[in-house]
Amino acid sequence: MKRSNKNTGALQLEELKAVYAISRVIVETLEFDKALAEIVRLSRPVFIFDNLILYLLNETNQVLEPAFARAIGRGRAVAEELAWGDLAAKEAFESGEIFLKEPAPDPDADRLDQGFYLGQPLTVGGKTLGALVFIRFGGPAYTDEQINLAEFIAAHVSQVLEHQRMVERIANLEAGRRLGELQSDFLATVSHELKTPLGFIKGYATTLLRQDADWNKAESREFLSVIDEETDHLGNLVNNLIDSSRLQSGILEMELQDVEMETLIGELLDRWQSHYPQIQIDVITPENETHVWADPIRLSQVMENLVSNAAKYAANSRVRIEVEEDNERVFIRVADSGPGIAAEHLDQVFKRFYRVPEPRETVRGSGLGLYICHQIIQAHEGRVDVVSKVGSGTTFTVQLPKQLAPQQAQEGQ
C-alpha cells in the first residue's frame, strides 16, 4: 500500500526533544556510520521499531543495496528481513512516496511472522538516493504521527548522506588535483635532473671512444672522472627519489637506537673535509656525551644533506655544527654564513621538489634534500627549522627527543 504523508498533529515534548537531538547529530557527527547509529539510538524512545535498513542506489549498476542495518528489537537477524526490506525499499524508491505493508491482524500468528514495513524514500535536492525501511514485528500499525517522525528521520539521514557525498567529492577532487600537480612537478624535475648527468656521461664516453682522436692519459683521466662524478650524482638522485617516495608513503622504516652525537658527527667529519674543501667546518659539542634515540644511518643522511647544502649554497663559508641539549631534547644546529634564503621562500624549502628560484642556475639540485630531512626528522618525533637572513647566512636546527616513550623505543628495536 502506498500512502502519502498527511501532516496530522503536533509533536509531543519527548518527540520534539528527540527530533532536536537528531538535528544536533547531523551538525556534529561527520562519520556516516556513527551518525546513523546515533540517529537510531535517539529515535527509539519515541518511535518503536525492531529493525532499520538503509538502502542506497549503487550508481555503477543502478541497484539498491543495503548500506546500513540495525536490528534493535525483537528476534531475527537483519539478513532474513532483507528480502521484504528490499521490496519496501524498491517501492518507496521508485514511487518517491512512503510505502506501507501491514499484515491483516491474526491473533494466532507468530509475531515474528507479522512484519509491519514502512519504507521512506531518501531525497536530496530532488534526487532520490535510496530508501530507509523500518520493520516492526507483530504491530501495532504505524500511526500518522509515527509516519511523520519516520519522515523526519529519513530527511535527516538524507542530509547525512548528502554531507558524506560532498566530503567524498571534495576529497576526490582535491586528491586528483594534488596528484596531478605532483605528477607534473615530479616529471618536470626528474626528467631535467636525470638528463643533465646522463648528457655528460654520454658526451664524455662518446668523446673517449672516438676513433679519430688519440687522448693522452691525463685527458682520458679527466673525462673518466667526469663520468665517475656524474654517475655518483645520478645514483644519489635515484636514491633520493626512492627515499622520498618511501617517506611519502610511510614505508621507510627507522631502526631506532641509542646514538651518541659526537661520535656520529666525528665519523662524518673526515668525509666532509675531503669532499667539501670549499667550506671550513667547526664542531661544538657539550662536554658530556649527548645521546639521542635515532636511526644512525638516517640521521647521518640528514646531517649530510645539511652540510652538502652549506657547501653548495654557501661555498667559502665557515660552517658551524653545534650540539646542545635541554631536559627533553637535543638540538643540532648547522649554520653557515652564506648568501641566505629570502623570507618568502623560507617556509617552502622543506617541500618536495622546492628550489629557490635563481636567476642563473649555478647550483644543481632536485629540491628533495630538505624534504627528506624533514620527513626523516618527523619520523623521529622531532622537528627541523630554518632561520636565515639574506647576506648573513642560514641556520638549520634539528630537534630530537632525548628518549622516546618505552613502547616506541621497543618498536624501533
Residue ranges that bind ligand ADP, judged by CB under 6 A: 305, 309-310, 313-314, 336, 338, 341, 349, 354-356, 365-371, 394
Closer CB to ligand ADP, 151 or 304, in the complex: 304
Task: Name beta bridge partners: 283.
Answer: 321
Minimum gap (Å) between residue 295 Cβ and ligand ADP: 20
Closer CB to ligand ADP, 81 or 336, in the complex: 336
Minimum gap (Å) between residue 345 Cβ and ligand ADP: 7
Minimum gap (Å) between residue 178 Cβ and ligand ADP: 19
Whether 81 contacts 115, CB under 8 Å: yes
Whether 342 contacts 356, CB under 8 Å: yes
How far apart are alpha carbons 10 and 20 in whole angstroms? 14
How far apart are alpha carbons 241 and 151 in whole angstroms? 56
Backbone φ and ψ of 12, nearest 5°: -75, 165
Closer CB to ligand ADP, 223 or 354, in the complex: 354
How far apart are alpha carbons 85 and 105 in whole angstroms? 20
For residue 30, which of 153, 166, 169 has the smallest C-alpha distance? 166
Closer CB to ligand ADP, 100 or 346, in the complex: 346
Closer CB to ligand ADP, 142 or 313, in the complex: 313
How far apart are alpha carbons 75 and 260 in whole angstroms? 65
Q: Which residue is nearest to ligand ADP (CB)?
A: 365
Minimum gap (Å) between residue 188 Cβ and ligand ADP: 14
Count the neighbouring beta carbons within 10 Å of the beta carbon of residue 93. Answer: 23
Minimum gap (Å) between residue 278 Cβ and ligand ADP: 13
Closer CB to ligand ADP, 161 or 370, in the complex: 370
Minimum gap (Å) between residue 338 Cβ and ligand ADP: 5
Backbone φ and ψ of 223, nearest 5°: -65, -40
Minimum gap (Å) between residue 242 Cβ and ligand ADP: 15
Show Cβ contacts of residue 115 under 8 Å, excluding neighbours closer than 6 positions: 81, 84, 101, 103, 135, 136, 137
Show Cβ contacts of residue 328 under 8 Å, excluding neighbours closer than 6 positions: 401, 402
Closer CB to ligand ADP, 40 or 384, in the complex: 384
